[in-house]
């Protein structure tokens, strides 16, 4: 018998993510998703507890603060405020109202592979508009309601999936400059500062609100403002935990937009009001190569600053690279 393996078609993924409306899915618009990743063995609570312990040496198991509102700064610590161990946090999670975030889970190889598999289930639809997916990262949020993730933006595109319990996600269109002004996005892309990204209650009706259950998900593009919350009314004793995951990734398009922001920053410093990325394809084509050089220069400065500052930036992308 001949070897037919080279002609074999890969079987469909058992665990996958899909867009509700696959035909009209666009990487530039917020979209409802569904998935069955909550049934994956690596996303069960005992496996997440194991993962959390493996992330401690990297300071990537973070304890979120409870006194936050949508308008708060995002704040978290590497140590539990009362000195509890990870084991205790997971064993008594409901009683302790533990609130953990597992950052950059891709540093653990089996999760890196899983994140790649998740993105692969959407790869064809993503790359038809934004080729060149790179730097796939994962963030798991384990909370006992009530919880709030403050209003913010991220650099990456995001496949946000609800794994356990309920959570509400509010997302705003990334092109709406009345929610986050151009200069605030630029500041964040170039310097990582969210100082000018500010929530106002009047923004709330302008958001897309998703009341997510396990199996629900949302795709949102890079720099879409978003926040989450969960409520004790949705829980019952023994079933009080809410778990969601953000699978984030960059593409050739997010990298080009970052470079244009870099160039715009220089132009703004010269007193000009530069066109936002995407508003003028012709200008974008001129600005992107300039922004690439500006970003590389910034990255070089960052690499030469002190070890303490470098440590702080260890998990953050170098300015202007993506």
Task: Kindly list the residues in this chain that would bind Fe ion in the complex (CB under 5 A).
Answer: 154
Q: Which of 63, 233, 245 is nearest to 139 (CA)?
A: 245
Nearer to Fe ion, 230 or 291 (CB): 230
Nearer to Fe ion, 144 or 159 (CB): 159
Nearer to Fe ion, 19 or 218 (CB): 218
Min. distance of Cβ 81 from Fe ion in angstroms?
A: 22
226 has which bridge partners?
152, 171
CA distance 90 to 80: 12
CA distance 229 to 209: 11
Min. distance of Cβ 157 from Fe ion in angstroms?
A: 11
Give me the phi and psi of 6, to 5 degrees please. -65, -20
For 59, other C-beta atoms within 10 Å of its C-beta total 14
Q: Which two tokens stand for residue 53?
A: 């312990």
Min. distance of Cβ 69 from Fe ion in angstroms?
A: 16
Nearer to Fe ion, 54 or 154 (CB): 154
Min. distance of Cβ 226 from Fe ion in angstroms?
A: 6
Angle at 142 between CA 139 and CA 143, to 5 degrees: 135
For residue 275, how many C-alpha atoms fall within 13 Å in the half-sphere facing its CB? 12
Nearer to Fe ion, 187 or 284 (CB): 187
CA distance 211 to 223: 21
Nearer to Fe ion, 49 or 194 (CB): 194
Min. distance of Cβ 156 from Fe ion in angstroms?
A: 9
Min. distance of Cβ 176 from Fe ion in angstroms?
A: 17
CA distance 272 to 266: 9
């Amino acid at each position: 018998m001949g070897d037919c393996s080279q002609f074999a078609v890969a079987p469909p993924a058992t665990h996958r993510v899909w867009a509700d409306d696959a035909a009209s899915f666009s990487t530039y618009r917020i979209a409802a998703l569904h998935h069955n990743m909550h049934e994956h063995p690596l996303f069960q609570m005992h496996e997440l507890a194991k993962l959390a312990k493996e992330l401690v040496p990297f300071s990537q198991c973070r304890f979120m603060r409870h006194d936050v509102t949508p308008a708060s700064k995002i704040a978290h610590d590497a140590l539990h405020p009362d000195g509890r161990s990870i084991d205790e946090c997971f064993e008594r999670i409901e009683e302790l109202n533990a609130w953990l975030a597992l950052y950059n889970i891709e540093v653990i190889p089996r999760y890196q592979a899983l994140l790649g598999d998740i993105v692969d289930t959407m790869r064809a639809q993503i790359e038809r508009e934004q080729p060149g997916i790179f730097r796939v990262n994962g963030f798991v949020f384990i909370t006992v309601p009530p919880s709030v993730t403050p209003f913010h933006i991220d650099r990456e595109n995001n496949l946000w999936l609800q794994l356990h319990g309920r959570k509400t996600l509010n997302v705003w269109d990334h092109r709406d400059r009345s929610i986050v002004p151009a200069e605030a996005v630029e500041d964040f892309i170039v310097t990582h500062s969210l100082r000018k990204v500010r929530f106002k209650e009047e923004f709330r009706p302008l958001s897309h609100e998703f009341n997510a259950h396990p199996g629900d998900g949302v795709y949102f593009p890079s720099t879409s403002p978003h926040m989450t919350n969960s409520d004790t009314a949705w829980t019952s004793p023994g079933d009080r935990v809410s778990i969601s995951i953000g699978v984030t990734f960059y593409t050739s398009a997010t990298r080009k937009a970052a470079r244009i922001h870099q160039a715009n920053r220089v132009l703004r410093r010269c007193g000009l009001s530069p066109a936002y990325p995407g508003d003028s394809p012709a200008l974008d084509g001129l600005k992107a190569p300039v922004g690439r050089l500006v970003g590389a220069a910034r990255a070089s400065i960052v690499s030469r600053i002190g070890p303490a500052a470098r440590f702080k930036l260890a998990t953050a992308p170098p300015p202007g690279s993506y």
